[in-house]
Structures are given as structure tokens and as C-alpha cells.
Structure 1
Amino acid sequence: MAIPKQGSRLITVNDSVFRWRVRRKPTYCQGNSWGPMTFAVELADASSRVLLVSLPCSRPDAWLGERTMAIRPALVTAVIRTALGHGWDPQQAGNAFELALTDKTLTELMNSQPPAYDVPSMRR
């Protein structure tokens, strides 16, 4: 399984370039907030084992008003490092490696990163 290049973003972690992508439209279950927010990661330069990440929240475009969050590059970097620590070998062939994050793990990952500062937008 490979991640489509269109709509994906590149990120460098530990001198390796990865491609990550969030599904463009929610599935029916994700739209109803029955399923978790997910994204996929793989090595950018070769066919590799895909990492499928499930977060303990809904998508921002979910139809119901559940707790949501946006996926940011800093979170993707932290998740890749966590998956590598849990035994994901992106160069190994095989089925997708699934990583389901809990609220506690997600909080730890978010708190281990430097704070993000919002840049005020210029309005006329």
C-alpha cells in the first residue's frame, strides 16, 4: 500500500524523509464521529511499510460537534519517533503498522514539544 503523492506532505525525521497524509474527506463513520481521526506515514523515496496512526479525537470536518484537533507537522514528527520506538521499521516489507494513540499518550507527545506561537494575521 502506498500513499498518493497528491495531497501529501514531506517531513524529515532523523535524517529520513517521510510522506504523510490525512484522508481528504471523512469516511461515513468519521463524519459521524464514530471513528477516530487517522493519518498515514511512509518513507518518501521508496516503497515502504506504512504507518497508520489513530488519534483519540474526531476530524475537524466531522458532522457532529465532538472534540477535534488539527494534525500539525510537530505532532507527526513526535508520532514517527514514537512509532520507531515501538518497533516500526519503515524499510521492512509487510502489512501496515498500526499505532493507536490514547489521550494520555497524545498529551505527553503534545507537551514534549516546544510551544507553538501564533503569528497575528495582517488585516486591512
Structure 2
Amino acid sequence: MALLRRGSRRIVVDDIAYRWIVRRKPTHAQDGGYFLSYGVELEGERGAVLVVRTDHARPLNYMGVPSKAVLPSDVERAIQLALARGWEPSAPGAQFQLDLSAG
């Protein structure tokens, strides 16, 4: 699964370019304020997509749960952690799930 280029942001980690995006339309659980997730992939290559689940709520969720923006520094830390846990962004395959939620 490739990420949409439109709306995605570029980030460089250890001299390697990636693109990341927060899904435009939330899932029901995300809209309820339970969590926020985003996807990361290598820029210009097809491979395994990293899906990061956070413990903070999505902005404008219908439950009114306070939210926190995803910062580039958060994305950089998630990429480094996923790489340390075995994510191979250039290898084809299933999504790599990284759960950073408290629960």
C-alpha cells in the first residue's frame, strides 16, 4: 500500500528521505478520540509502510478529547524505533505496525 503524495510531508532521517501522512478521514475509533495514527514510507520507493499508533487523540474528535499535534521530531523518533525493531522500508511486504500508545 502506498501513501498518497498529496498532503504528505517529507522528512529526512539519517540522510534517508521518507514521506509521512495523517489519514485525512479518521476511522471511527480515531474520531472518538481514542488514538491517532499516521503512515510513513520511503520517498520514491515502494516498500513496507510503517503505521504508527499514538496515544493522543485526533484533532476535532467528536468526543472532545484534548489532542496533540504530530511533530516531525515525533515522526523521526518513530522511524528510528521502527528501524531498530526490524522495519525494512525498502522491502516489499505487509504494513509494519508500531504501537506507541500507553495501553
TM superposition score normalised by structure 1: 0.77
Counterpart in the other structure of 1:99: 98
Q: Which has the higher helix share?
A: 1
Q: Indicate the residue corresponding to 2:7 in structure 1.
A: 7
**2: CA distance between counterparts of 1:74 and 1:62?**
23
Query: How far has the Cα of 1:40 moved from its partner?
Result: 0.1
Letter in 2 for 1:40: G
* 3-state secondary structure, aligned to 2:20: strand
Matched residues in 1 for 2:98 and 2:28: separation? 21
- The CA RMSD over aligned residues, in Å, is 1.5
**Structure 1: which amino acid aligns with 2:53?**
S
What is the Cα deviation at residue 83 of structure 1?
0.6
| Higher CA-based Rg | 1
Q: How many residues get paired? A: 103
Runs of at least 5 residues in structure 2 that lack an aligned partner in the other structure? none
**In 2: Cα distance, 1:103 partner to 1:28 partner:** 19
Q: CA deviation at 1:28?
A: 2.4
- Once the two structures are overlaid, the 10-residue window that deviates more, 56-65 or 11-20, is 56-65
Matching residue of 1:42: 41
TM-score (norm 2): 0.92
- Higher RCO (CA < 8 A, seq sep 6+): 2
Structure 1 residue 24, shift from structure 2 partner: 1.1
